[in-house]
Chain A
Amino acid sequence: RSGSKQSTNPADNYHLARRRTLQVVVSSLLTEAGFESAEKASVETLTEMLQSYISEIGRSAKSYCEHTARTQPTLSDIVVTLVEMGFNVDTLPAYAKRSQRMVITAPPVTNQPVTPKALTAGQNRPHPPHIPSHFPEFPDPHTYIKTPTYREPVSDYQVLREKAASQRRDVERALTRFMAKTGETQSLFKDDVSTFPLIAARPFTIPYLTALLPSELEMQQMEETDSSEQDEQTDTENLPLHISTEESGAEKENTSVLQHNPSLSGSRNGEENIIDNPYLRPVKKPKIRRKK
Chain B
Amino acid sequence: ALPEGAMSNGVYVLPSAANGDVKPVVSSTPLVDFLMQLEDYTPTIPDAVTGYYLNRAGFEASDPRIIRLISLAARKFISDIANDALQHCKMKGTASGSSRSKSKDRKYTLTTEDLTPALSEYGINVKKPHYFT
Contact = CB atoms under 8 A, between A and B. Distances in A.
B78 A26 contact: yes
Interface in A85-116: 86-87, 89-93, 95-96, 99-100, 102-107, 109
B70 A57 contact: yes
B21 interface: no
A170 interface: no
Interface of B: 1-2, 4, 7, 29-32, 34-35, 37-38, 41-42, 44-50, 52-62, 66, 69-79, 81-83, 86, 89, 105-112, 114-115, 122, 124, 126, 128
A258 to B, nearest CB: 100
A22 B45 contact: yes
14 contacts: A22-B45, A29-B79, A29-B82, A33-B79, A59-B57, A71-B60, A73-B60, A75-B4, A79-B29, A79-B31, A95-B76, A96-B34, A102-B44, A104-B44
A51 B53 contact: yes
Contacts of A62: 57-59
Interface in A24-52: 25-26, 28-30, 32-39, 41-43, 45-46, 49-51
Given A35-B108, A35-B110, A78-B66, 15 more contacts: A29-B82, A37-B109, A38-B110, A39-B110, A42-B112, A45-B112, A57-B73, A58-B57, A72-B1, A74-B1, A76-B2, A87-B73, A92-B73, A100-B41, A109-B48
Contacts of B86: 33-35
A28 B70 contact: no
Most chain-B Cβ atoms within 10 A of its Cβ — which of A39, A58, A71? A58
A59 B58 contact: yes
Given A22-B49, A59-B58, A78 B74 contact: no
Interface of A: 14, 18, 21-22, 25-26, 28-30, 32-39, 41-43, 45-46, 49-51, 53-59, 61-62, 70-76, 78-79, 82, 86-87, 89-93, 95-96, 99-100, 102-107, 109
Nearest to A28: B44
A76 B59 CA distance: 14
B72 A30 contact: no
Nearest to B126: A45
B57 A49 contact: no
A57 B53 CA distance: 10
A34 B128 CA distance: 24
Contacts of B54: 54-55, 57-58
Nearest to A79: B29
Contacts of B89: 35
Contacts of B49: 18, 21-22, 25, 106-107
Nearest to A59: B57
Contacts of B105: 34
Given A42-B111, A59-B58, A78 B70 contact: yes
Nearest to B107: A36
Contacts of B57: 54-59, 62
A82 B73 contact: yes
B110 to A, nearest CB: 4
A14 B49 CA distance: 10
A87 B76 CA distance: 9
Given A32-B79, A42-B115, A79-B29, A25 B62 contact: no
Closest 10 CB pairs of A and B: A58-B57, A58-B59, A106-B46, A38-B110, A58-B54, A59-B57, A33-B82, A106-B48, A54-B53, A55-B57
